[in-house]
Amino acid sequence: MTPSQIKLAIAVAAVALIAVGLYVSQTDNTAPQTTGMTDENKASRLAANTKQIKISQAKDVTIESLDALIALFDSLNYNNESWREGNREVPRLTFKSVSEKWQQTSNEIPVQTKKMVFFRLMAPLILVANEKVLAERKIAQAAQLADTQLIDLAEKYRIKTASTTQLTEPERQILLSHIDIIPPSLALAQAAEESGWATSRFTVEGNAFFGQWDFSGNGMIPKQQRKELGNYGLARFDTPLASVEGYVLNINRNAAYEKLRTLRAELRQQSLPITGMELATTLDKYSERGQAYIDGIRSMIDFNKLQQVDEAYLSNDQPLHLVGTNQ
């Protein structure tokens, strides 16, 4: 390709990735092992107390090219120069989906540019999901043992059933081990690995960034199924943000990730940083590749210097959602 053709391909692909819109998930669209509360009143009650900045307050920003996207990042002080100077503030950005154009043209984009776009668009979603979890954690720490909000959380994280009327203090501590953040470095590395940098069929068709299974019959069917697992598919999500929130909930309550939660609780108890490099060592059950998967995720974190993103925090400025001109 000529330089002008490469530049055009980059511009088209950048806009294609930002096939955007606006969505706040009120339901849990994950696989059955991550199914959320079915009681809408409980979900609404919890959501009302998270004190998140509402995505509905977001401002539309139209992105016409890669240059326009980078200019937006620069205007938000969200660039390499600012990062090198120690600024870890991340703007509240969201987008609705990944288009087929990104899938078709991403191989023509320089690797570093593709990674930059991917990480800068995904990092805000991960921080928003963690913000919600920390708001829930605050409720779990402060609520009375018979408080309905605490009971709702215990049911959501499968510590207690719907018939529970009061928790014990030891049960509260177990609940707190479930309600905690996922280091952004870990989530970014897994999203890149599981989605193929947002190019996989499942990411394009169903915003599936983390390869979560769905046994309900509504999932996206892989070309080669593992027969020993039965009839399953990949979980669909309405938006990338919903996919991130589903992933966080899956890690926080699925029995397969108890080792991660135990290590995270130990780190918090000792006032040590909760990092992706540390927690990645527990993910032997996330993939059938076992230790090789762990090694790959840790290598991705290290190679891309994602440890620094664990220091990131969300801006208090107005949320923005990015709108491609092809929408």
The pTM score is 0.82
Query: What are the tens digits of pLDDT across the range 76-86?
Result: 999 999 999 99
The pLDDT value recorded for residue 326 is 55
Is the CB of residue 212 less than 8 Å from the CB of residue 202?
no
Dihedral angle sign, alpha carbons of residues 150, 38, 124, 251: positive
> Residue 90 and residue 82: Cα distance in Å, rounded?
11
Query: What are the tens digits of pLDDT across the range 159-187?
Result: 988 788 899 999 999 999 999 999 999 99
What pairs with residue 324 in β-bridges? Answer: 63
> Residue 228 and residue 72: Cα distance in Å, rounded?
48
| Better pLDDT: 199 or 8 | 199
> Residue 211 and residue 195: Cα distance in Å, rounded?
7
The pLDDT value recorded for residue 37 is 37
For residue 179, report the phi and psi dihedrals to the nearest 5 degrees: -95, 90
Cα 76–Cα 134–Cα 139 angle in degrees, nearest 5: 140
* Radius of gyration of the CA atoms of the chain, in A: 20
Structure token digits, residue 230: 């039965």
Residue 116 identity (one-letter amino acid)? M
- DSSP letter (8 states) at residue 90: E
Query: What are the tens digits of pLDDT across the range 118-158?
Result: 999 999 999 999 999 999 999 999 999 999 999 999 999 99
> Residue 179 and residue 153: Cα distance in Å, rounded?
9
The pLDDT value recorded for residue 127 is 98
pLDDT band at 24 (very low <50, low <70, confident <90, very high): very low
Is 80 exceeded by the pLDDT of residue 190? yes
Is the CB of residue 42 less than 8 Å from the CB of residue 302?
no
The pLDDT value recorded for residue 6 is 46
Percent over 70 (pLDDT), the chain: 78
Query: What are the tens digits of pLDDT across the range 27-37?
Result: 333 333 333 33
Mean pLDDT of the chain: 82
